[in-house]
Amino acid sequence: MGVFSMPLNRYGQPIGGSLMHLDQPPHPKAVLIPGTRCRLEPIDTDRHADQLWDAFAEAPDDRGWTYLSWGPFADRETFREWVDQISEEFYSPFWAVVVDDKACGFGCFLAVSPTQFSLEMGHLHFAPRLCRTPAATEALHLWIEHAFMLGYRRVEWKCDVLNAPSRNAARRLGFSFEGIFRNHRRFRGHNRDTAWYAIVEEDWPALRAVHRAWLDPANFDNNGAQRFRLSERTAGLRHPDPVDR
């Protein structure tokens, strides 16, 4: 909407469209979110901690923890204690990603602001068996879809600007680049510049359709190879990242 088509206040100044008709969304709770290839379960120590520990142990090294706020963990018991802590989180509800009845990843909503209709999807960590699979894409899709179904208008994705895999994942899903917050955080004793991405409610219907088309079994041949890449369809639906240029 151009500035000249914006509503005007009593002083003739352009202002944003009214949101007075919208009801504030609830604070998200970790509830079961079913999918076809995976499901998101409220993370639980007894049910998921040992499965996650074993799945993460399949990684050849600890590089998957580099850009996360926690980990790697010294031993199974320390990890179980941490899962016990996050399972009780209210402000940042955590889910386990479950495939074939085995937990192999986790993630959460954070920076939740019901009054601003905004939240962030993050703290994502997937085991090698989950990474780069249709189930991983479906898990991310389920989180985004759940946020919009609750009534949020904006889903954010933030990551270290040096975290290329995370930035690639955001672009592939259709998150639009919104800028870099320089010197944003002191992280593990180092500077962190943070790249910001978001999907807003106006973006979601087209992106949801593309996600569902990619996840459709008809998009995969008998060997499991995809017939079209998700990034090919989302590229034209998001604002470009400088790395696209």
Q: Which pLDDT tens digit goes with each residue over 32-72?
A: 999 999 999 999 999 999 999 999 999 999 999 999 999 99
Say if 16 falls within a structural domain.
no
- What is the reported pLDDT for 140? 98
28 located within any domain:
yes
**3 falls within a domain:** no
DSSP letter assigned to residue 208: H
Give the distance between the most distant pair of CA atoms in the chain. 64
| pLDDT score of 6 more than 90 | no
Residue 218: CATH number of its domain: 3.40.630.30
- Is omega for the bond preceding 42 within 30 degrees of 0, making it cis? no
Tally of domains in the chain: 1
Its domain, for residue 222, covers: 23-244
Q: Could you give the 3-state DSSP secondary structure of residue 155?
A: strand
Q: Could you tell me if 55 and 127 are in contact, meaning their C-beta atoms sit under 8 angstroms apart?
A: yes
Q: What is the pLDDT of residues 73-86, one digit of tens each?
A: 999 999 999 999 99
Answer yes or no: is 108 within a domain: yes
Answer yes or no: is 11 within a domain. no
Q: 206, 198 in Cβ contact below 8 A?
A: no
Confidence class for position 182, pLDDT limits 50, 70, 90:
very high
From the list 103, 107, 101, the residue with the least C-alpha distance to 120 is 107
Position 79 in a domain: yes
- If we measure between CA atoms, which residue out of 188, 159, 181 comes closest to residue 171? 159
Alpha-carbon distance of 227 to 192, in angstroms, equals 37
Look up the pTM and report it.
0.94
Comparison of pLDDT for 5 and 17, the residue scoring more? 17
Answer yes or no: is 9 within a domain: no
CA distance 163 to 167: 6
Domain-embedded: residue 204? yes
